[in-house]
Amino acid sequence: MGLWDKLKGELIDIVEWLDDGRETMVYRFQRYQNEIKYGAKLVVRESQTAVFVNEGQLADVFTPGTYTLETKNLPILATLRGWKYGFNSPFKAEVYFVSTRTFTDRKWGTKNAIMLRDAEFGPVRLRAFGTFAIKVKDPATFIRQIVGTDGRFNVDEIGEQLRDMLVARFADVLGESKIPVLDLAGNYDELGRFITGRIQHDFDVFGLQVVMLMVENISLPPEVEEAMDKRTSMGVIGNLQAYTQFQAANAIDDAAKTPGGLAGAGIGMGMGLAMGGQMAQTMGAAQQATGGPGAPPPLPASAAFFMAVEGKQVGPLDLAGLQAKVAAGQLKSDTLVWKNGMAQWTPAGQVAELAGILASVPPPLPNA
């Protein structure tokens, strides 16, 4: 190898970008006066795209791989510079490396509450937040529309605008969905996928793609959530009188552990029990008036018996009627009786329900 070949080999540049930051989306290759030697090596790594710009015009775009920069590899740049017969000298061009990896864990959230009309609660205010992920879909469009001549473009420079676009679409989709507030938690995944599809058209304008959008939480104002908690607590408590007694028992136990506290706790406990009793009685009276759960069961009806008198069926008779038959001497221990539920006619003395009635009947006289 001659001296000239050796020097020529040492002058060949390597154009590459080693990404040292997780937030950089576009990096402009730093070269003195933007001069690149003929035959330089271009190294484009995975999750990268290299874009050549000549005097403000986008030229050739390179996907991952290693390239030798010659006229045949730079057809658009050669046309722009008027290289009809090739070239052997350094040339000026800007090289932008665009990161095509997915930028994850981008935060979004509503700055102000979203006003909606709910079927159960009426007008409500909702707040929501979550995460999303984006990537560069079209490097040339992204450089034209967003980056411009920025030498190092980070994702945070466009983060605020992307969040505003997401929130605007989210509010629109949430209002159109008509999903009840209490059912939103079961539709987070569906909302995320639907919003991703709806907003992609807006991101295409910038050469970006929404890879994923997640809804982490949708919440009501704190005062509304507090009222809902109280409503839930009332349903959990159920029997107010039993709950009051339980609280009183806990108060006695706590007071017993505190010296001198039992007497004072007794006064408070008595007042609590009295108030709880009054409230329980009031609620019970109201329930009884309306036939609610606190009303007593109806009085039991007297059993209806039939009896056999001189081979004929008499009845049905209630207890008062049976007592009259006992007084008349027609109902005795050996009189056959029957009621609904008995398998067959049975002597009255063998029926437990009639023992009290027959107790006043004297036994038969002994044989003389």
Contact (Cβ atoms closer than 8 angstroms) between residue 128 and residue 107: no
Positions of E strands within the chain = 14-15, 24-28, 35-36, 41-44, 48-54, 57-62, 65-68, 91-92, 94-99, 103-109, 114-118, 122-136, 152-154, 208-219, 305-309, 312-317, 336-339, 346-347
H or E stretch covering 252: helix 240-256
| Pairwise CA distance, residues 235 & 240, whole Å | 10
Average pLDDT (270-296) is: 54
pLDDT in tens, 196-206: 888 898 899 99
The pLDDT score that the predictor gives to residue 8 is 47
Which residues, at least 6 apart from 296, have a Cβ–Cβ distance to it below 8 Å?
288
pLDDT in tens, 110-134: 888 888 888 888 888 898 999 999 9
Q: Is the predicted pLDDT of residue 9 greater than 50, yes or no?
A: no
DSSP string spanning 137-184? S-HHHHIIIIITT-SEEETHHHHHHHHHHHHHHHHHHHHHH---GGGG
3-class secondary-structure state, position 115: strand
Average pLDDT (307-332) is: 83
3-class secondary-structure state, position 121: coil
Q: Give the model's confidence band at 241: pLDDT under 50 very low, under 70 low, under 90 confident, else very high.
A: low
Per mean pLDDT, which range of 52-61, 167-176, 258-267, 298-307 is the poorest? 258-267
| Pairwise CA distance, residues 202 & 205, whole Å | 6
